[in-house]
Structure formats: C-alpha cells, structure tokens
Structure 1
Amino acid sequence: MDITVSLTAEEVAAIGSAEAEGLADWFDTALWGLAMLRTGEVCRDEGAGTTEIHDAEMDTVVRDLDVKLLPRLAGIRDAAILRHRELGGSVGSLAAAMDVARSTAQTRLEALENPNPGPRAASSRAWQEWAATAQQD
C-alpha cells in the first residue's frame, strides 16, 4: 500500500523539502516498526520475502522514533498548545482538544509558559522553536 502525503507549495516553503522528506521517512519507520512488532518478521527485505527481526532493525526503529521523530512531534504539539493560548483559546477548549481534564490542560500549559524551565524543558523549548521557525532548503 502506498500512502501519499501532499503538501502545498506554501507548506513546503515553511517546512523545507529536506525536513519534510526526513519527517516522512521517520513516519514510514514508525509504520514499518509497528508491522514488525505485530508480525514478528521483517517484510521489506528486497526479494527475500519475510525474514526474522534482528536487533539492527529495532535499532533503526528506536533511533528514528526516539531520537528523531518524537522530539519533533513534541515540539510541534507544545508550540501548538502555546499558539492556541496566544490565539485566545481557553483552557477548557484546550482540555477538550487534548482529551484531558481541565486541570491537566492547565498544568501542561503552565509548564510550557514557565519562564524558568529545567534542563528537560530547555530541550523542549528548542524543539518548540524549531516547530515555529520556517526552514530553509
């Protein structure tokens, strides 16, 4: 099955074609990893049919998801939460969008707005900035 992600020229300009290609590749890895976990096999080995999963395949899945994709997704999410607030969104509507209790949404928002973040939050802020900054090819 082929899955196509279509971007407008404006979206490509904002994201950057290299960045979009990297993200698409890491999304692909997520689906590939999910299939391997569910089947117990590597189904993409060119011409060999299916093969046994080895740690090398899981290395790729873990690296692409944990190091590359998840921090970027968290940055996009956190930047979206802050932009929601900037646009006048209420904590109640944020809670509904997040499918959490109002108090949970308030706590997450306050953590993102904290002017004195710890080391982990500083990394999060870097990914928020990445998400909100136009990329250049």
Structure 2
Amino acid sequence: MLETHCACSKLRRSARIVTSLYDAALAPSGLSVAQFALLRSLARTGPCSLTAFGEATCYDRSTLNRTLRPLEEAGYIASAAGPDRRARLIDITDKARSVIAAAEPHWRDAEARIDEALGEERVALFAILDRVEELRA
C-alpha cells in the first residue's frame, strides 16, 4: 500500500477498506452497507423530507437520490407529498424493516471484526472521528 501523509487520502482509503468489509458481510442480505446504513437511519428519523434526511446523514441531494432510488424501486422506501405538497417525505416500509432485521446479524459480524482489529483503540478512533465530523461546514 502506498504510504501517505494526507489526511484525506488516509481517511478515504480506510473508508474503502471498511466499506468492503461491511459489504462482504452484508452480501447475504442483498444490501450494501450504504443502503443498510440509510435504511437504519431512516428507521431512526422516521418520515422526513429528503433535505432533512440529507442533512442528518451528511449526504448531498444528488448522491442521496441516487442511493435511495434502488431502495424505493425495491419497495424498501415509500415517498409521499409533504403537508405543504412541495416537500417529498420518505419513510421505510414493512419490507425494509424485515430486511434490516435479517441484515443486522451480518452487520454485527462486521462490527465484531472491527472490534477485534481495533480493541480498546476503537473508543479513541470514535473520539477522533467525532472531531472530524465537527469540521462539517
């Protein structure tokens, strides 16, 4: 692996490695880690506008739309006009709740691999990542 002293390169490379680990673990569920994370996040937020959900998950609107489209086509997400009819509200479906429940053991397996690799340093990593998230403009 190429050595780098660039924080962005190091974080992006680490993210690709971790994403690959979680994608492999979640493969039996048919979901990618990005899809699983969005479904779980939407389950926690409840019905909300795309704008609010994008802000909550740090996704820009076009990336969020591109990631949500296959989930909506698969019947995991339902959308409806909001109270003022200008904003589209999204929410998970019962089908999504079922696939989340089926995928969670696979997600826990991936979490266990991360825990095993990091041990006590996981707490420090999360503290550092929290500080990185505070850089959000």
TM-score, scaled relative to structure 2: 0.31
Query: Is the strand fraction higher in 1 or 2?
Result: 2
Whichever of the two has the greater Rg, that structure is 1
Which of structures 1 and 2 has the larger relative contact order (alpha carbons within 8 angstroms, sep 6+)?
1
